[in-house]
């Protein structure tokens, strides 16, 4: 399983959407180091297995095309978001 890492910056009041493709294998996306001011909304798709703690959000999707919308909830200024995702885990 290969992990890919990207960093995005969101301007005040903005949002972006990522797509998790779990048609052939399970898809996983992790938002590490998310200290406040991040809003995450699951759009369409299947409800994932979710792990949430004080510094990370971790979503695993078992099947289908799934979208995750990320918001900048800071009162002012941009925020930087680290995103880690896998090519997937084979579904049996």
Per-residue pLDDT tens digits for 70-86: 888 888 889 888 888 87
- The domain of 25 spans 3-86
Residue 56 has pLDDT above 80, yes or no: no
Residue 89 has pLDDT above 80, yes or no: no
**In a domain? residue 66:** yes
**In a domain? residue 91:** no
Q: How far apart are CA 14 and CA 28, in angstroms?
A: 24
pTM of the model: 0.74
Q: How far apart are CA 92 and CA 73, in angstroms?
A: 38
Per-residue pLDDT tens digits for 2-27: 778 888 899 988 999 888 888 888 88
**In a domain? residue 68:** yes
- As for how many domains the chain has, the answer is 1
């Amino acid at each position: 399983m290969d992990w890919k890492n990207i960093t995005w910056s969101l301007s005040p009041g903005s949002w972006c959407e990522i797509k998790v493709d779990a048609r052939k294998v399970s898809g996983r996306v992790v938002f590490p180091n998310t200290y406040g001011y991040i809003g995450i909304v699951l759009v369409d798709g299947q409800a994932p297995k979710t792990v949430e703690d004080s510094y990370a959000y971790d979503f695993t999707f078992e099947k289908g095309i799934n979208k995750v919308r990320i918001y900048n909830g800071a009162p002012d200024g941009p925020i930087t978001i680290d995103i880690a995702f896998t090519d997937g885990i084979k579904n049996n």
